[in-house]
Amino acid sequence: MRALQVPGYGPDDRITLLTLPPPLPAPGEVRIRVQACGISYVDLLLARGAYQVRPPPPFVPGSEYSGIVDAIGEGTDTHLAPGDPVCGTRQGAWAEYICLPAARAQPLPSGIDPTLAAVASASAYTALYGLRERGALKAGDTLLVLGAAGAVGHAAVQIGRALGARVLALASSEAKRAAARDAGADAVIDGASDDWKEQVKRLAVPRGVDVVFDPVGGPATDAAFRTLGWGGRHLMVGFAGGEIGALKTNLAIVKGAALVGVDVRQFGEREPARAAALLRESVGWFTQGRVRPLVRQVLPVERFDEAATLAQERQGVGRVVITF
């Protein structure tokens, strides 16, 4: 099978397309013939040894996939059958065949575009976990989404609106603001403007922002926290901006507000039953059309270097997907 592999973390190492033996499904597992995979910011960080988790090389990176059930491990209790379309998340997804526990493969209706399915579950899962489970977002709340045209931010705009919140979206270009507006944002703000914090405060009167969804980090974290009203929650999702922001902790006292960490990886490890149920729900949001990811470019795996370069372009709008 074809697979992308990280040979090591040295400066001369690169993600390489190799031919490897296909895996065999163990009892309790299914094997997936992968059709499409997303390329995320975290995937590339991990592949370069710059993420908080460093798998020992050599390893196959990637975390999002869609495909077809190819084989079922002996004695596996599952409703899946060979030929069923599925999607989900699984570390090591950038390979033509992957094996995983049957419960981790989420069934899809026939006819769904596999390139969309490949990038639907992870973003919706992260946004739903953050907004509802960690942020207690409810109807009537005001939600501020940073990086609103990024993969997770775009999902957060759609899910926030579906949960009944008033959604304010921050994005740094006209194309990104248009994407956030199309996703259902009630108001969009230019994140590159010097006074975006004041604009948000004016839009959030009289109560202030109830929930901040922050996958960006850096200086934006402090500015966004200052838009919170009494009892607000700032959800720290990631650092796509490349910097870990500093926050003056007295602000939490003044506002009676909370900084809340959103880590879906640890959630899955520590509470696997709840995580599995939430992942199923997130895929349901996609198949019902309530969350629709943006796909900018689809390239074959042989053009991975080009795909990775496109995925890192900050001005691009939409996900980059590779296909096998």
Tell me the per-residue pLDDT of 28-64, one tens digit each, with 9 for 90 and over.
999 999 999 999 988 998 998 888 888 999 999 999 9
The residue range of the domain holding 111 is 2-119+293-323
Is the domain of 247 the same as that of 304?
no
Is the domain of 187 the same as that of 204?
yes
Is the domain of 230 the same as that of 138?
yes
Is the domain of 167 the same as that of 198?
yes
Q: 315 falls in which pLDDT band (50, 70, 90)?
A: confident
Is the domain of 191 the same as that of 153?
yes
| DSSP secondary structure of 265-307 | HHHHHH-HHHHHHHHHHHHHHHHTTS----EEEEEEGGGHHHH
Rounded to whole angstroms, how far apart are CA atoms 150 and 51?
19
Is the domain of 93 the same as that of 194?
no
* 210 in any annotated domain: yes
Q: 241 falls in which pLDDT band (50, 70, 90)?
A: confident
**313 has a pLDDT exceeding 90:** no
Is the domain of 115 the same as that of 181?
no
**243 has a pLDDT exceeding 80:** yes
pLDDT of 10 reads 80
* 135 in any annotated domain: yes
* 285 in any annotated domain: no
The vertex-121 CA angle with 274 and 99, nearest 5°, equals 80
CATH number where 206 lies? 3.40.50.720
* 286 in any annotated domain: no
Is the domain of 105 the same as that of 71?
yes
pLDDT of 226 reads 97
pLDDT of 119 reads 97
Q: Which two tokens stand for residue 21?
A: 């033996």
Residue percentage of the chain with pLDDT more than 70: 100
Q: 87 falls in which pLDDT band (50, 70, 90)?
A: very high
CATH number where 79 lies? 3.90.180.10
Is the domain of 113 the same as that of 137?
no
pLDDT of 53 reads 83
- Report the relative pairing of strands 166-171 and 64-72 from DSSP bridges: unpaired
**Over residues 189-202, mean pLDDT:** 96
Is the domain of 180 the same as that of 103?
no
3-state DSSP assignment of residue 63: coil
Is the domain of 10 the same as that of 54?
yes
pLDDT of 121 reads 92
| pTM value > 0.85 | yes
> How many domains is the chain partitioned into structurally?
2
**11 has a pLDDT exceeding 80:** no
CB 126 within 8 A of CB 262: yes
Is the domain of 201 the same as that of 317?
no
pLDDT of 60 reads 96
